[in-house]
Amino acid sequence: MKNYYSSSKLIVLLFAAMNLVISSAIYAGGGYDYSRSELMGNSGLTIFREADFGNEMGLSISIDGIPITTLSRGEGYRAMLRPGRHVLTVTNTPSPYGKTKFTHRTVNFVSGQNYSFTALWEVETILLEDGGYVYHGFYR
């Protein structure tokens, strides 16, 4: 009797684990874009922080000079903006040795379009590249 009870627990546990795996696979990938019905005439913006952006360092995001958020490792930012010209500013925080790096990018947002950027840490600057996060392979 005890063997039957433990095997039924195992079956229920496996079923729950399979449901979690299937549901996570559905939401994985490029599902970060808004649909046209969600945008309702606005523009979609997604900013990713590259995984190796820096230890003990965050990525601060400002839009049109207004501070929005600070991203830590593994985070991204997603929002809807009015169409038109906007200035995206990203900076490292806290800045090591008092050397804050700023990157400004002017983007003309078009109604109904999604825009995706990835912030990359380079030796002397922060790059804001087009597109979502791109896997660069293993680092040695």
User: How confident is the model at residue 29, as a pLDDT?
Assistant: 41
User: How confident is the model at residue 3, as a pLDDT?
Assistant: 58
User: How confident is the model at residue 8, as a pLDDT?
Assistant: 72
User: How confident is the model at residue 107, as a pLDDT?
Assistant: 92
User: How confident is the model at residue 132, as a pLDDT?
Assistant: 57
User: How confident is the model at residue 26, as a pLDDT?
Assistant: 42
Q: Which residues of the chain have pLDDT under 70?
A: 1-6, 14-32, 96-97, 132-140
Other CB atoms within 10 A of residue 82 CB: 10
Other CB atoms within 10 A of residue 45 CB: 23
User: How confident is the model at residue 2, as a pLDDT?
Assistant: 53
In sequence order, which ranges of 28-139 are alpha helices (DSSP H)?
36-39
